Amino acid sequence: MFVDSHCHLDFPGLLEREDEILAAMAAADVGRAMCIGVKLEDIDRVIGLAERHDNLFATVGVHPDNADVEEPDEARLLALADHPKVLGIGETGLDYYWHKDAPEWQRARFRTHIRAARACAKPLVIHTRNAAEDTLRLMREEGAGEAGGVMHCFTETREVAEAALELGFYISFSGIVTFRNAKALKEVACAVPLERMLIETDSPYLAPVPYRGKTNQPAYVVHVAEEIARLKDLALDQVAAATTRNFNRLFLKED
């Protein structure tokens, strides 16, 4: 069985295809998927997906790219995290690609998410882009390692991966690792221990080869696993078993 550890099934292009998406998952042996919250205004849709399907779960948070939205406070995040199908806090983090002025509100929001994750003992789902140094600094300052979590859609250097691993985080690879021009990321994937690795689609974005440029969906996470298996010279079922076990250990607290 495979697990898509990060997708946005509430987004347009996927939500209206809910039954089709779930059927494709089943056909591809993708047994579970995590639906990620990015705005409080839409969080009912995300949690609703998890409520309707036993094999879907949810996280709650506000994406660092989203500026003109309801701002979360710790109490609001904790109230949402109390739902039994909510297994994590995020998507949170820092993004200086779209916000080149490195705004303080982004860093303050990230701190709020980390504090909420520590308070409810649920893992963080962290996004970082062009902000690795500050991301790691805030993780250390706020004790993010107490909550644990995952660096999602990882595209940073091996050194950043090692720093996150030292904090107890998992590293998640998306369809980007299948791209022919992603040589540096492939090298990072070779270096990250399989027991600390997750796989994801980030649907509807970043469809892996051979679907690059098309709308992504959880069923395609198998192609991410295939590339990891190729890079590490492992059998596909080894990657499937390990990444599923890692997901279950991190989010479901299963050994």
**Residue 98 binned pLDDT confidence (cut-offs 50, 70, 90):** confident
Q: 131: which 2 tokens?
A: 């902000």
As a whole number, mean pLDDT of residues 8-32 equals 97
As a whole number, mean pLDDT of residues 64-83 equals 96
Query: Considering the chain, what is the average pLDDT of its residues?
Result: 97
As a whole number, mean pLDDT of residues 137-161 equals 98
Reply yes or no on whether the pLDDT at 231 is more than 80.
yes
The percentage of the chain sitting over the pLDDT mark of 70, rounded to a whole number, equals 100
The pLDDT value recorded for residue 100 is 75
Residue 57 Cα distances to 8, 37, 39, 60, 107, angstroms: 11, 11, 16, 11, 27
As a whole number, mean pLDDT of residues 71-87 equals 98
